[in-house]
Structure 1
């Protein structure tokens, strides 16, 4: 079985107000890439992945007339994908939904949000003292995680959570002091979301359930200097002792010769590209018996991806993130 997380940049820009696919020469949301090129590139990447399920981060929009699942099903049909079914959770106003595209002949999937006193539903409010002032702060997800109950064709039950934690970029800052203030405030909020998500993780793992957390956590050990103020990255908090992802764990090792990455961005000031590890597939320890194998489909780090020129160009045109796959000996 192959499970994938894939942040597809501005996927929503490929669909009109009634979720009809637009493949033409007009600009997509990606800089310098038209809608035809991006749409064909996404299709090629998904065809090559041939996954049983893809957690799509930044899935098409859900709004007055639009719906992410309808758009994804239409895209799958146009691309000839076997992942012909889709589910999504709570719609949000960011034009970036979290949705699962899956093969209904291999998996049965239902949206199954949970709630408890320690970890309320992800569409609710989480109360936590963020700045140790003895006053509880209210935290909400701009993109509530997608909680799923999944059953394989062979009868194995899994829990899946698709997550996209809020970016901590200091948008709106006009000077360095504002950058620091906003960065620290956003870091606090992101860590609160990570604590909230980890509490759900711990509850489910403690209950003996197989759990997989997939998505873009917009963070990683050592990603920026503000992490030192709080001791841990949100990735480490989400994982705790209950989950593992070898790419995240590798960054905790001293003298790492080459850090893995799942995304590639252009810095117009330095006129250089930089990479970051932002996307993860974390599994509970009970899934180790199914021989898990992770792979980042990075065209400049994965030799097979680089050698396949057509796939390499498709990965670069489709998104500024690259897919992360998990293969399990599971039916």
Structure 2
């Protein structure tokens, strides 16, 4: 079984109409939307996953179905079926499964620990030392898969709160207003940390109840290995470290098969200008797999789809029609 994860940049901008969709929106013309969708479909066809986990999917299932019908079908027969997440607004989570592929059945998980992820909990996301109710910006999508062969497994798709701060570069570059940027950025990072800790407690529950639990966590975590400016100077948390687990509980640690198999020079899924550390076009590993101890032995390979992504990159990729997405896909095989 091949599993692919991809943040497909603002798919919602391809469409208008939601449940009665048509191509094109205020952001992209119908023609441009088809160009971008074709690039995305080409990458998916090249990687050819049995399971595709999507972040920034469209806000309505008919829009995703319109994409599949137009660009991921052969002679009118869809290559994939889609399942939509329960939350996310204009950036929904999806899991697509290949028709006739390695998955026999898929559905949302309904066990009590998974349902409890929808509940609010107490966290200090403002840094004022006062606890307040908090819940996920985007509720993780948790699905149970029955393969055609082999034991069932669970996939948790996580898209954490964005680190984006409106007018952030201008605020940071102005000494008189830099504190405004720091305050907003810190709140975003506290929210990401809160979501990471809540998810990790859920994973601990699963593995404590069944040491052989077969679980994969994937998605765009908006954070990666190595401390950034805020983790170094303002002592925030690294969400990848939180989700993977504590070294004090080695039997509960999840493994990162991409980190284990991809050379450091190729270990990135996005490139963005970092105006805080003053590094233009900085390579960042924002998209991850975390595999439970009971499933790690079944990993056969993992990687980042650089070649497939770059085949669809035109010129600098600055224009939306010149790239499939601003993130590169990751994949693993079981």
Q: TM-score range by the shorter chain?
A: 0.7 to 0.9
- 1:84 aligns to 2:80 (yes or no): yes
The 5 Å alignment of 1:1-331 reads 1-17=1-17, 18=19, 20-22=21-23, 28=28, 34-61=32-59, 67-68=60-61, 70-81=62-73, 83-93=79-89, 95-105=90-100, 106-107=102-103, 108-116=105-113, 121-129=116-124, 135-171=130-166, 174=171, 175-206=177-208, 207=210, 208-228=212-232, 229-230=234-235, 232-240=237-245, 241-248=252-259, 258=265, 260-265=267-272, 272-299=280-307, 305=308, 310-313=311-314, 317-328=323-334
How many residues align? The count is 304
Cα distance, 1:268–1:139 mapped onto 2, change above 3 Å = closer
TM-score under structure 2 normalisation? 0.79
**Contiguous gaps of at least 5 residues in structure 1:** 62-66, 300-304
Distance 1:157 1:88 in 2: 20
Residue 158 (structure 1) shift: 0.4
Distance 2:196 2:4 in 1: 21
> CA contact under 8 A between 1:129 and 1:136: conserved in structure 2?
yes
Cα distance, 1:149–1:271 mapped onto 2, change above 3 Å = closer
Distance 1:7 1:278 in 2: 10
Cα distance, 1:200–1:114 mapped onto 2, change above 3 Å = farther
TM-score under structure 1 normalisation? 0.80
Residue 247 (structure 1) shift: 4.1
Residue 273 (structure 1) shift: 2.7
Cα distance, 1:59–1:113 mapped onto 2, change above 3 Å = farther
Aligned partner of residue 164 in structure 2, secondary structure:
coil
Aligned partner of residue 272 in structure 2, secondary structure:
strand
Tell me whether 159-168 or 286-295 shows the greater mean CA deviation.
286-295
Aligned partner of residue 34 in structure 1, secondary structure:
helix
Residue 36 (structure 1) shift: 2.6
Cα distance, 1:124–1:182 mapped onto 2, change above 3 Å = same
Aligned partner of residue 123 in structure 1, secondary structure:
coil
Cα distance, 1:267–1:209 mapped onto 2, change above 3 Å = closer
Aligned partner of residue 38 in structure 1, secondary structure:
helix
Distance 2:41 2:152 in 1: 29
Cα distance, 1:20–1:209 mapped onto 2, change above 3 Å = same
Cα distance, 1:155–1:231 mapped onto 2, change above 3 Å = same
Q: Deviations over 1:159-211 (max 9, x none)?
A: 11001000123336642011111122221111110000111111112223200
Residue 291 (structure 1) shift: 3.6
Aligned partner of residue 283 in structure 2, secondary structure:
strand
Distance 1:196 1:148 in 2: 18
The alignment's C-alpha RMSD in Å is 3.3
Aligned partner of residue 12 in structure 2, secondary structure:
helix
Residue 236 (structure 1) shift: 0.6
Cα distance, 1:257–1:157 mapped onto 2, change above 3 Å = closer
**Contiguous gaps of at least 5 residues in structure 2:** 172-176, 246-251
Tell me whether 83-92 or 146-155 shows the greater mean CA deviation.
83-92
